[in-house]
Amino acid sequence: MEFSFKNIKSRFISLLALTMLFTTACGTKEAEQAEQVESQNYETVTIEQLVKTPDNFLEKSIALNGICSHVCSHGGRRMFLEDDAGNTIRIEPAGNIEKFDVAFVDNSISIKGILKEKRIDEEVLKEMEEKEKAEHQHESEEKHCENDAAGSSNFEKRIATLRQKIEERKAKEGKAYVSDYFVAADSCITNAPAK
């Protein structure tokens, strides 16, 4: 095998060309993916529209603005946006968003995402009750404080209220569930602080 400057030079050039080809191809793919996200059509809606006519926007890509009224402190997995009239919609992280920052509270927020529906029926309520019961059985060896009893009472009231709403909707619309609407956000931008 002969080693010459010419062989080394041609191999180096070939290797460099291959490297450039792969780098360019990967860069193009990433740019195309970013371009797809940017070019996705989002219908601009208000929180009031989502609250009053959610079925019109269900499973559609939407963009909305509002004031962040709350971010759940346990993990930041929920955020609530509010408009000037007091209408509120829950926002949950999706896509590349893992959680929301509690610093968002009282700031103007722009969201892009998809409106989702979670149906709560009798089966879901029973699962919630079983989960709550299991959690309390696990804690039964520990001494419960007054807050635990109050929390349990609030849970029971929430379940009773949901059952009542399910019955009312069933009687009125023939649907044996209540709908819980939220936006699965794939984009979240903090604007200037609200005044």
Question: Is the same domain home to 186 and 110?
Answer: yes
Angle subtended at Cα 46 by Cα 41 and Cα 49, rounded to the nearest 5 degrees: 105
Structure tokens at 80: 């609530």
Query: Do 103 and 79 belong to one domain?
Result: yes
Q: Measure the CA dihedral 161/165/167/170, to 10°.
A: -160
Q: Is residue 130 part of a domain?
A: yes
User: Residue 65 is part of which domain span?
Assistant: 43-119+179-193
For residues 94 and 168, membership in a common domain is answered with no
List of the chain residues with pLDDT < 70: 1-39, 138-152, 192-195
First to last CA, the chain: 77
* Pair type for strands 61-71 and 79-82: antiparallel
Q: Are residues 91 and 134 in the same domain?
A: no
In this structure, the answer to whether residues 107 and 55 fall within a common structural domain is yes
What is the reported pTM?
0.68
Residues 126 and 115 in one domain: no
Question: Is 92 within the bounds of a domain?
Answer: yes
From CA 149, how far away is CA 161, in angstroms rounded?
18
pLDDT of residue 193: 65
Same domain, 83 and 128: no
